[in-house]
Every structure is written in structure tokens, then in C-alpha cells.
Structure 1
Amino acid sequence: MTSWTPGWGDFPEALLEFWTERHLHTLTTLRPDGRPHVVPVGVTLDHERQCAWVITRGGSRKVRNLLAAGDAGGQVATCAVDGGRWSTLEGTGVVVHDPESVARACERYAARYRTPSPNPERVAIRITVDRFVGSAGLF
């Protein structure tokens, strides 16, 4: 296992490739009682804004967990595995509702996965990345 703290201008090529390939991820948030909540999601990197995005429904458990953590957001981890390659992104997730941020998250999602279907309850989780960990070949 290797770790890397983002220097967005010198992103390791193999890590960038992994994070642009189509992989499903798990997202871990913490419930108010401290227990982990792990669900499958699509995650996208946004180099221009130096963050990662998850789109979801406003009433989801992951959203409620992050809102319960307060205005500063809560600690999150998202992980994908592809054979012997894997990577986890660790950081702070904040729920955003503003149309511009939600649209940006949907654009990034569409670029990696597919165009999401309309959802009037959609919000986005913006993740400020603290570090990446993963298999040694990605760094």
C-alpha cells in the first residue's frame, strides 16, 4: 500500500487513469453513533475544482450522516477495486444543494459513467481530498 497527498498539478498518471476509468466505489460515512455506513456509489474527480463528487438523493442516509456532522462536514472514504489494483480516497464530505454545484457534479458523473436521470431531490457531496491510498502500481 502506498499513499499520496494531492498535489493536483503533479497527479500520478496511473492514479489519474484509475480514477477516470469506469469503476463503482463504496462510500463510507459515519452515523451519528459512530458506526460506519457503507454504500455503492459513483465517484468523480474534478481537477479544476480540486475535489471529488458524489451525486445522491437529498434524504439518503449518507446525506443525513454528513448533515449530522455539522457545517464543516464529516470524514468520508471512497474505495474502488479492479483485480489487484485498488484506490481509496479519504477526505471531508459536505452536502451541497446549490444548482451550480449539483450541475457540476452531474456533469462530472456523466463524463465518467452516464448521464444521470432527472431527480428533483438530487444533491451533491463535495469531497475535499486529504489523501489517496492504494496499490503500489498506481503511484
Structure 2
Amino acid sequence: MPPPMQRPHAVTVPDPVEAFLTATVHVAAFTTLRPDGAPHVAPVRFTWDAAAGLARVMTVSSSRKARNLLAAPGSRVALCQVDGFRWVTLEGTATVVTDPARVELGARLYARRYWSAPPTPPGRVVIEIAVDRVLSLNA
């Protein structure tokens, strides 16, 4: 089984930010760029893996967000979780991963966070975001 994508210098986040990123009730706005440069923003559920410095989003390869990233490998993205006046934005480079072991890992982490397994449509992939910048307010 190949190891998950990991950055050499994972970001560290303060404990309150970590707690906010791992709370079960939240979704986030995930921003990618379309081939014409226009932003595409979609609500997503995601997981945060502090040890690897990765955020993961389960989706399918035919989704607009996956197609945007496949058209421009290594693109920068933003994932912003908001709750009232508290928010955390994770920024980094994203990769669409089809490796079954890594997709399954993404699904297990999703199920742990959201207390139910993600959908299993044909073409399921995981987007791994190598987070290199964290912005927050009141989290």
C-alpha cells in the first residue's frame, strides 16, 4: 500500500483550531479554479489529518472540483469552514487521488468524523490537500 501524500513540513495548528477542524457538524466551502480562471466554490465535508498536514475531500472524478484539479495538477485551493463568526481557512496544493488504498483511507476518516460512510458512487476519488497555510478567526 503506497503511503499517503505527505509534506516534509506539515503545518501545526493551535489546539482550538484543531478542535474546530475536527468537530462533527461542520462543512466547508471548497474553492478551486476553473480552466478559464474563474473560481468554483462548492460545499463539502472534509477531514483534517494533522499528522500528515492533509485535508481530504471525497468526491467523484467527474465532479467540477476534480476536473478543475485534473486540468491543472498541483493547483492551489482553499477550504474554509465557518461557524458564525468563527472560521478556519486551509490553503495548499491539491491532488486528485485514485489509488484504492488512499481512497479507502479517506473514506474511513470521513466515516469517523461524520459518523457515517461517504457515498460510494462509481469514479470515487479523494482530493488530498497539502496544507501550507492556515488562517483563522475566533477558532
**What TM-score bracket applies, with the shorter chain setting the length?**
0.7 to 0.9
**Root mean square deviation, CA, Å:** 1.5
**Greater shift in the superposed pair: 107-116 or 84-93:** 107-116
Match of 1:85 in 2: 86
**Larger relative contact order (CA 8 Å, sep ≥ 6):** 1
Match of 2:59 in 1: 56
Code of the aligned partner of 1:81: V
Identity percentage over the alignment?
A: 48
Gaps of 5+ in 2: 1-8
8 A contact 1:52–1:129 mirrored in 2 = yes
| Partners of 2:61 and 2:50 in 1: CA distance | 25
| Partners of 1:115 and 1:132 in 2: CA distance | 27
Match of 2:130 in 1: 128
Provide the TM-score with structure 2 as the length reference.
0.87
Gaps of 5+ in 1: none
Counterpart mapping for 1:1-139 below 5 A: 7-8=11-12, 11-21=13-23, 22-70=25-73, 73-113=74-114, 114-135=116-137, 137-138=138-139
| Partners of 1:47 and 1:20 in 2: CA distance | 10
CA deviation digits over 1:83-126, x for unaligned, max 9? Answer: 11111100111000000110111111111112113223100100
| Partners of 1:60 and 1:7 in 2: CA distance | 28
How far off its partner does 1:48 sit? 3.3
8 A contact 2:76–2:91 mirrored in 1 = yes
| Partners of 2:42 and 2:69 in 1: CA distance | 14
SS in 2 for 1:105: helix
Number of equivalences: 129
